[in-house]
C-alpha cells in the first residue's frame, strides 16, 4: 500500500468541509484518476499527500508512514518522495529550462557536475535537450508541461501527483501527455486529478470520484455511485 486515507476530513478555516470522511487505499504502482466537478476536493487530496495542508480529522499513510500530523521539519523529506505536476506548472519563468530542473536537485546538495548529468539525461528523454538554455517564459504550453513533468521525475520519486495537467491542453496535446506518462510513469504510483471525462474514457484506469468533498465512487470497489444526499 502506497497511499492510505482513513476517515479524512478537511475543514478550511471559516469555510465548509473541503473533504468529508474520505477513506481509500492506493497500491504501489497504481494509476488513479481523482475526478469530480470544480470544488469537489480533488486538489485538497493532492495537497494532503504532499503535506501542504494537514487533515482536520483522520489518518493518512504514505509508504507506510503516518503523515497526518507530520512536523514542519519532516515535510521536505516527504516531498522528496512525491513529484507534483501543477496545472499552472509552477516553473520559474525567468530561469532557463536547465536551471528549473537543477533546482529540484540542488536541495540534495549535489555537485554541479552531477546535477548537469542528471538534468541532461532527463532533458534528452523528454526531448527538451535543445531547449535547455531557453528561458521557460519563451516555451510553448506543451513544452512547459514537459519541463514540469521532467522536474517531477528528476529525483525519481515513487509517487507522482498531477493536478489538472490537461486543463489547458487541446485533445492532441492531452494525448501526447498521456503517452509521455505511459512511457515515464510505469513504475510510479500516480494520482491524476482531472474533470476531463473524455480523457478518462480514452485511457481507463481506477477512478475515485468526489463530489462536494465526499467520495462518491471508487471504481476498484465496483460500487454504484453513492447519492451525495445519502
Residue ranges binding other proteins (CB under 8 A): 12, 50, 52-53, 72-73, 76-80, 84, 90-93, 95, 100, 103-104, 106-107, 109, 151, 155
Considering the complex, state which of residue 104 and residue 207 has its C-beta at the smaller distance from other proteins: 104
Considering the complex, state which of residue 3 and residue 115 has its C-beta at the smaller distance from other proteins: 115
Q: How far is the CB of 156 from other proteins (least distance, A)?
A: 13
Q: How far is the CB of 10 from other proteins (least distance, A)?
A: 11
Q: What is the DSSP letter of 51?
A: T
Q: How far is the CB of 80 from other proteins (least distance, A)?
A: 4
- How far apart are the C-alpha atoms of 157 and 190, rounded to whole Å? 11
Considering the complex, state which of residue 85 and residue 216 has its C-beta at the smaller distance from other proteins: 85
Neighbours of 128 (CB within 10 A): 22
Cell numbers that stand for 104 in this block: 529540484
Q: Which of 93, 94, 118 is nearest to 104 (CA)?
A: 118
- How far apart are the C-alpha atoms of 158 and 186, rounded to whole Å? 10
Considering the complex, state which of residue 211 and residue 213 has its C-beta at the smaller distance from other proteins: 213
Q: How far is the CB of 79 from other proteins (least distance, A)?
A: 4
Cβ contact 130:137 at 8 Å:
no
Cell numbers that stand for 7 in this block: 476517515
Amino acid at each position: 500500500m502506497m497511499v492510505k486515507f482513513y476517515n479524512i476530513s478537511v475543514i478550511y478555516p471559516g469555510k465548509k468541509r473541503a473533504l468529508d470522511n474520505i477513506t481509500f487505499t492506493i497500491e504501489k504502482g497504481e494509476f488513479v484518476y481523482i475526478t469530480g466537478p470544480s470544488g469537489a476536493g480533488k486538489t485538497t487530496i493532492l495537497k494532503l499527500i504532499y503535506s501542504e495542508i494537514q487533515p482536520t480529522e483522520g489518518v493518512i499513510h504514505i509508504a507506510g508512514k503516518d503523515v497526518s500530523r507530520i512536523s514542519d521539519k519532516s515535510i521536505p523529506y516527504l516531498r522528496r518522495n512525491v513529484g507534483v505536476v501543477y496545472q499552472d506548472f509552477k516553473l520559474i519563468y525567468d530561469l532557463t529550462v536547465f536551471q528549473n530542473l537543477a533546482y529540484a536537485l540542488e536541495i540534495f546538495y549535489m555537485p554541479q557536475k552531477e546535477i548537469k548529468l542528471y538534468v541532461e539525461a532527463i532533458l534528452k528523454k523528454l526531448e527538451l535537450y535543445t531547449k535547455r538554455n531557453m528561458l521557460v517564459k519563451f516555451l510553448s504550453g506543451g513544452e512547459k508541461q514537459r519541463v514540469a513533468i521532467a522536474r517531477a521525475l528528476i529525483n525519481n520519486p515513487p509517487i507522482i501527483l498531477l493536478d489538472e495537467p490537461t486543463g489547458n491542453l487541446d485533445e492532441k496535446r492531452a494525448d501526447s501527455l498521456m503517452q509521455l506518462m505511459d512511457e515515464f510513469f510505469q513504475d510510479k504510483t500516480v494520482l491524476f486529478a482531472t474533470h476531463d471525462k473524455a480523457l478518462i474514457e480514452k485511457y481507463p484506469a481506477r477512478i475515485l470520484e468526489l463530489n462536494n468533498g465526499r467520495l462518491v465512487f471508487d471504481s476498484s470497489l465496483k460500487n454504484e455511485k453513492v447519492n451525495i444526499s445519502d
